[in-house]
Chains A and B, each alone.
Chain A
Amino acid sequence: MSILINDDTRVLVQGFTGSQATLHSEQAIEYGTNIVGGVTPGKGGKTHLGKPVFDTVQEAVKNVDPNASLIFVPAPFCKDSILEAAESGIKLIICITEGVPTLDMLVVKKRVDELGITLIGPNCPGIITPGKGKMGIMPASIHIPGSIGIISRSGTLTYEAVKQTTDLGMGQSSCVGIGGDPIPGSSFIDILKMFEDDSQTQAIVMVGEIGGSAEEEAGEYIKNHVTKPVISYIAGQTAPAGKRMGHAGAIIAGGKGTASDKIKTLKDCGVHIAENLVDIGSKVAEVLGR
């Protein structure tokens, strides 16, 4: 198996004709992802990368029957684009864009939850199932099919974890970047559930960072519901309090959300901790006895 992307995934790209969307759609198609078309308002009827372009998601749904959407539109338009995909019946939405206003996400999150939709991101690298397909901006070449599931709030830290597991000969079942914003569409827990239920996944790498309490909540969930080994790395042990470290969500506020608190909670919940960024791969190997 694997999670989120499989052989039946039919991808629509919103903001299809923009430069980033074009670059990453080309790479996704080359990787074997089934991109069935795209949406750019005002460019309906054209063909882009050999795929049909539509003005609205609704038209795309009628004509090419996508079941997943990958969003590259600029931040001011993300709320509209996510809701458009959601109201058109698409059940898996990945939003790559960084800089979406938080209050937009409060409304979006509430609505996609009501509709039973899986939203990943925004401000994320997307998802990949090695050997099957990718919806995102990650460099495909570092991935190999395997049994490690990877979840991360950071794009480049996901790549780091992927590369280290690949270098040690352990591939990945799927990799999910949930994004660095304060209000992500999916939490660690949402993805942990999927990996726990996925027969291909044998161990889970969870890469967290300072800010909020998502790692602590995940720790509680792991303790009670996850039987597979979880290996975690938390970034930001040297981050000062009160400063936003690049990601909108990476801030130690009122003394809460520090790396050391998260690491302590995760350890107490039975999660294996890689203390140093360069040791994620070797920690996984150690836990799996390889």
Chain B
Amino acid sequence: MRTQMLAAVLRARPATTRAAPRFIRMSSSAHGQETFEAFTERYVNFFENAEDLFEVQRGLNNCFAHDLVPAPSVVEAAIRAARRVNDFATAVRVFEGVREKVENNQQYQSYLDELKGVREELGISTVEELYRQ
């Protein structure tokens, strides 16, 4: 009975009270865009807090999967994380990943120069140094 009355009231509602739907939005402009600085900070934090080798390698996979070259601070955090979990090979692999991501040898060389201090501090060789004939 009550539901019938309710339905009648609802039906009798004047059409002018209906608002136009407001849920229209641009389909391609609603994604959040992470800035490069935010990305860098996120991954530096990630690598500083990484506990084990799996976490470090998972973070590296994610970090190097983007369409950008990670900042030197990220690379430094990553190799320090590799040092913390005692995996030399991963530290070498980080530089190999940088070499894959940069556009040319010059950029790779500038990464190596930028990170020369930490490389010498930790004793990391690059693949080129290891397999130089």
Are A and B bound to each other?
no
Partner-A contacts on B (CB < 8 A): none
